[in-house]
Amino acid sequence: MAIPPETARSGWRDVGGILLHAFWILLLLSLVSYHASDIYIMQSPPNQPALNLIGPVGAWLAFGVLMGLGVVGYLAPLAIGVYACFLHLKKQGWVWPKLVWLILLFMALLCLVELRPEFWQPAVRRLNIVGPGGVLGVLLGPRGLFKLMGTAGTAILAGAVLLASLVLLFEVQLLLVFRLA
């Protein structure tokens, strides 16, 4: 059976995968060496030179990820690395649905960390961020779904989306998993 030309594997997937591997490594180093004092809107004057291992670019990159995603941002390098592996390993078919499932997985995690903000307070204070889910988590959780569904409804929905995303992302057949258990 021939592979349709629009889904056939090309060298562009491998190039994209290589670039994403480089990016997730840079992002990981940026996040683990993040100092809020490297950013001039957090401290004036900022550290000179920047303490971030990737320099000022890494400091701003980590700042953007942590402000947007909060503590969940520390999982961003892992997600990018996983997607890069999908680009390399998926022999045929579309890869973009995997990206959709990764995004939904992150949205579910943002809601879940916003359910228990007190647990994350030490990290929130240390990182000097809006909340455990960052700006997106606050908009999605307390200012969005919590008002529409309450915390219990949001927890159920986020848990279901998290599980469904993992199943579809890694193409797990739940019946086989339960048979093996």
Residue 5, pLDDT score: 54
Residue 105, pLDDT score: 97
pTM here? Answer: 0.84
Residue 68, pLDDT score: 97
Query: The tokens of 136 are what?
Result: 């997106």
Residue 11, pLDDT score: 82
Whether residue 86 contacts residue 16, with contact meaning beta carbons closer than 8 Å, is answered with no
Residue 181, pLDDT score: 62
Residue 3, pLDDT score: 55
Residue 173, pLDDT score: 79
Residue 4, pLDDT score: 56
Cα pseudo-dihedral 139, 131, 97, 22, rounded to 10: 140
Q: What is the 3-state secondary structure (H, E, C) of 72-123?
A: HHHHHHHHHHHHHHHHHHCCCCCCHHHHHHHHHHHHHHHHHHHHCHHHHHHH
Residue 9, pLDDT score: 56
The rounded average pLDDT for each run of 10 residues, N- to C-terminus, in the chain (181 residues) is 55 90 97 92 84 94 96 97 89 84 96 96 92 96 95 97 93 72 62
- Which residues have CB under 8 Å from 42's CB, separation 6+? 36, 63, 128
Instruction: For the beta carbon of residue 123, count every other beta carbon within 10 angstroms.
Output: 15
Whether residue 114 contacts residue 137, with contact meaning beta carbons closer than 8 Å, is answered with yes
Residue 56, pLDDT score: 94
